[in-house]
Structure 1
Amino acid sequence: MDRFDAMRVFVRIVERRSFTRAADDLNLPRATVTDAVKALESRLGVRLLQRTTRQVAPTLEGEAFYGRCLRLIADLEDAESAFTNVNPKGPLRIEMHGTLARHLLFPRLPEFLSMYPDIELDVSEGDRYIDIVREGVDCAVRVGELRDSDLIARRLAMLPEATAASPGYCELHGIPRVPDELESGHLMVGFKSTAIGALLPLEFQQKGRVRNITLPTRVRVGGADSYLGAAMAGFGIIQAPRYRLDHYFSTGQLRLLLEGFPPLPSPVNVVYPRTRLPSPRLRAFIDWATEALAF
């Protein structure tokens, strides 16, 4: 294994905090990964990694070497791309919510794969915010305001949102005409945000300002699909992106409420770590997604 390949191995171990996970990501035997790090440490004359029974962490020298490796690997990939005129290739790991992927990413994905036939996509999904570096993900597509200061973000879209409830709920509790009427006997489906660790309030634009209202809840959920399902079962009012609700409005399974007082639109961003220089395949995806998903 040459020095640059050994550096790539070392970088993946630092990011994954595990020899085994790094070996799986790189499709290498674990012994090869271990030997690569030993060779690096022997050549440099320093210890790069602290190994415990639970995880692997870089030493101070390892942290410094990790930063240098990132820059060198990025420069090498840039040089190879510029002089060989070869399209970006290799695996690209993306994390995003499954519903967002089905509605926004997958319908447009054939265009990207046609442009870059040598890129292999690995799309994971979930409702929780993950540690991109620790999970070995190249980038994530996230909805909502960002709170991670160590991430670089590119805006993809602004998603219009709407307020909804089931016809059965409306028959039982009435149809509110203004947000003030919500505080007289209405319920909301509680959505617990993993980003803030609390229930999200309902949000309304009213008279040039944003008003948050938290209603009583009988059902609380932690996932977007459960949130929608609870609303259709009549457990309360919800707010969600219009692209998720329009089908149910058209079929009559949900009713649009307070249309004159919409929630703020939600930003959609593609994010990646500030400490990691993007590879050519990641830059290709970000540039394509910024243009293809903007609406």
Structure 2
Amino acid sequence: MDSLGALNAFVQAAEARSFTGAGRHLGVSSSAIGKAVARLEERLGVRLFHRSTRSITLTPEGARFLERCRRIFSEMEAAEQEIAQTQGVPRGRLRISMPLAGMLMMPTVSAFMRAYPEVELDLDFTDRLVDIIDEGFDGVVRAGEVSDSRLMSRTLGVFRLKLVASPGYLAMRGTPQRPEALIDHACLQHRFATNGKLESWPLAAGVKEIDLPNTAVVNTIEPLIHMAEQGLGIACLPDFALRRQFRDGTLVAVLEPYVQHQGVFRMLWPSSRHLSPKLRVFVDFMAQNLFAD
């Protein structure tokens, strides 16, 4: 068991590229991780990491050893999964990467946690394009097309971007009847955290390009919803995030004939891995409930 602990410390350090990050993940100090790796290196008679004051990187021997260790832990997980299947209860740690907009999916995630209390969710919210396999994720939720042949995918649902504002704002500033009228309105815009670019508003083909006012710019969606509800302007937001607002009438859609958009959220996971019971129930639950009316 001590050997498995050292192997786990090594794997976590390699994936985090940091003794500190590995220690944080395992709930121990960075020095404990460093000592475990040092003992492992002494036993093997090779250096597994190049160390500097700022980072650690794998040596060629370390990279080969990492692949072996991953196979060991994959086999252990598969064995645990077989036992879990015989007991009929999905359980264990499930590491999922979700987009920043995934915060708006938390009601569905919370419902999953209540339905499957034996599954321990480890959620990482980022719009960065993570490497599912190299970074050790069980799965990721992302919008857009899939171009990585190493991955399997399942569609979770379709969403649409809409231009929305509060009734109070429209009563004060007027309801735009054509896209060109947006020039005279307060526009609340979303900036992609990954590249710093403003998200384009999906106006229909043939509409003249408009230089929209930057009344406010934020890199997450929740503040845009809040500002729009407070009557501070018009925002471009995904419809799945606005169910309560549409139901309560705090936000209404504008310029609908001129807005054309359809996006897809997908769950992705490595095709080389067995679809574990815990991942299977998570994928099924999200697909069935995320966009349910």
TM range (shorter): 0.7 to 0.9
**How far did residue 241 of structure 1 move?**
2.1
Output the CA distance in 1 between the equivalents of 2:274 and 2:208. 39
Q: Distance in 2 between matches of 1:246 and 1:294?
A: 12
- Amino acid across the alignment from 2:108: L
Aligned equivalent of 1:238: 235
Query: In structure 2, what is the equivalent of residue 292 of structure 1?
Result: 288
Partner of 2:106: 102
**1:226 match:** 223
Match of 2:254 among 257, 270, 286: 257
Identity, in percent, stands at: 29
Deviates more, 1:219-228 or 1:22-31: 22-31
Q: Which runs of 5 or more residues in structure 1 are unaligned?
A: none
Partner of 1:77: 77
Q: How far did 1:109 drift?
A: 3.3
- Which residue number corresponds to residue 49 of structure 1? 49
Matched AA of 1:55? S
Worse-superposed segment, 258-267 or 194-203: 258-267
Instruction: Describe the superposition over 1:157-190 as per-residue Cα deviations: whole angstroms up to 9, x where unpaired.
Output: 22233221123432344323343x3455234212
What is the deviation of 1:10? 1.3
SS in 1 for 2:242: helix
Partner of 2:6: 6
Distance 2:31 2:215 in 1: 53
Contact residue 108 and residue 292 of structure 1 kept, 8 A: no
Name the SS of the counterpart of 2:50 in structure 1. Answer: strand
Match of 2:93 in 1: 91
Amino acid at match of 1:171: A
Aligned length: 285
User: Are the structure 2 counterparts of residues 89 and 107 from structure 1 closer, same or farther at C-alpha, using a change threshold of 3 Å?
Assistant: closer
- Structural mapping, 1:155-234, within 5 Å: 155-179=155-179, 181-182=180-181, 184-205=183-204, 214-234=211-231
Contact 1:12 1:136 in 2 (8 A): no
Q: Secondary structure at the match of 2:116?
A: helix
RMSD: 3.7
AA partner of residue 255 (structure 2): L
- Measure, in 1, the Cα distance between the counterparts of 2:16 and 2:257: 47
Q: Distance in 2 between matches of 1:211 and 1:99?
A: 34
Q: Which amino acid aligns with 1:44?
A: L
Contact 2:183/2:212 (CA < 8 Å) preserved in 1? no
CA 25–90 in structure 1, closer or farther in 2 if over 3 Å, else same: farther
User: Alpha-carbon deviation of 1:202?
Assistant: 0.8
Structure 2's unaligned 5+ residue stretches are none
Question: 1:50·1:56 contact (CA, 8 Å) conserved in 2?
Answer: yes
Partner of 1:59: 59
Provide the TM-score with structure 1 as the length reference: 0.76
